[in-house]
A = this chain, B = another copy of it.
Amino acid sequence: MLLTTLYIIGITAEAMTGALAAGRRHMDWFGVMLVASATAIGGGTVRDILLGHYPLGWVANPQYLAITCLAGLLTTLIAPLVVRFHKVFVLLDSLGLIVFSIIGCRIAMDMGLSPLICVVAAVVTGVFGGLLRDLICRRQPLVLHKELYASVSFFAGCMYYGLLHFGLEETLVTISTLVVGFILRMAAVKFSWRLPVFRIEETESEGDSQKKLEHNA
């Protein structure tokens, strides 16, 4: 019950931020609905396809797809409001990230998959929506460059899996993962924590060898 409520809040918030990205690319209403839905439910879709977990969530429950499309269209009306209250969205989005991660981990566990795959399912659910949004909008995928986003998802997946594995009661595990994950994410935003960056500067000759190398790969 709690997870479902939080999930609906999460996909609504993500759909609205997806719609903003579409608006910055001057897309029409169809584009807005597509990007909104890809951002909000794309992560779960990719996870289910990778795990062979059919039917997909939104195929079984089309109301989720309806929510993301409507939230996207609504955003075209109230964009200035969304931009002004962006702090609320950061909160909702962070909550959504943890909820998505928990749900992804849970589904993989219910399928009896190995620990690594359960955590990967958490990260894919949390992260691939934003990745799809940036691919469709042809932008630098933010999630690959900035802040602890995937890492928070990874941590939430590990914590949820570990605590359940050690026999704690499920509601307790869910709530503690939500609280700790949310605090961690907020701290990462506040203090701009980020992963180390791998940076290859191209000198002329190095660039050449790299090009050759990747070319042949």
Contacts and interface: CB of A to CB of B under 8 A. Distances in A.
Contact of A83 (B17, B135, B142, B206): B206
B27 A113 contact: no
Contact of A216 (B22, B35, B189, B202): B189
A3 interface: no
A213 B23 contact: no
Contacts of A117: 59, 62, 65
B142 A140 contact: no
A54 interface: yes
A39 B217 CA distance: 9
A150 B90 CA distance: 32
A197 B86 contact: no
- Give the oligomeric copy count: 3
A118 B90 CA distance: 34
A213 B28 contact: no
A65 B26 CA distance: 35
B212 A86 contact: yes
Interface string A97-128: 00000000000000001101100100000000
A28 B83 contact: no
B62 A52 contact: no
A199 B214 CA distance: 24
Contacts of A19: 198
Given A55-B52, A210-B83, A216-B189, A29 B195 contact: yes
Interface of A: 13-14, 17-32, 34-35, 39, 45, 49-52, 54-56, 59, 62, 65-66, 75-76, 79, 82-84, 86, 89-90, 93-94, 113-114, 116-117, 120, 130-131, 135-136, 138, 140-147, 150-151, 189, 194-200, 202, 206, 209-210, 212-217
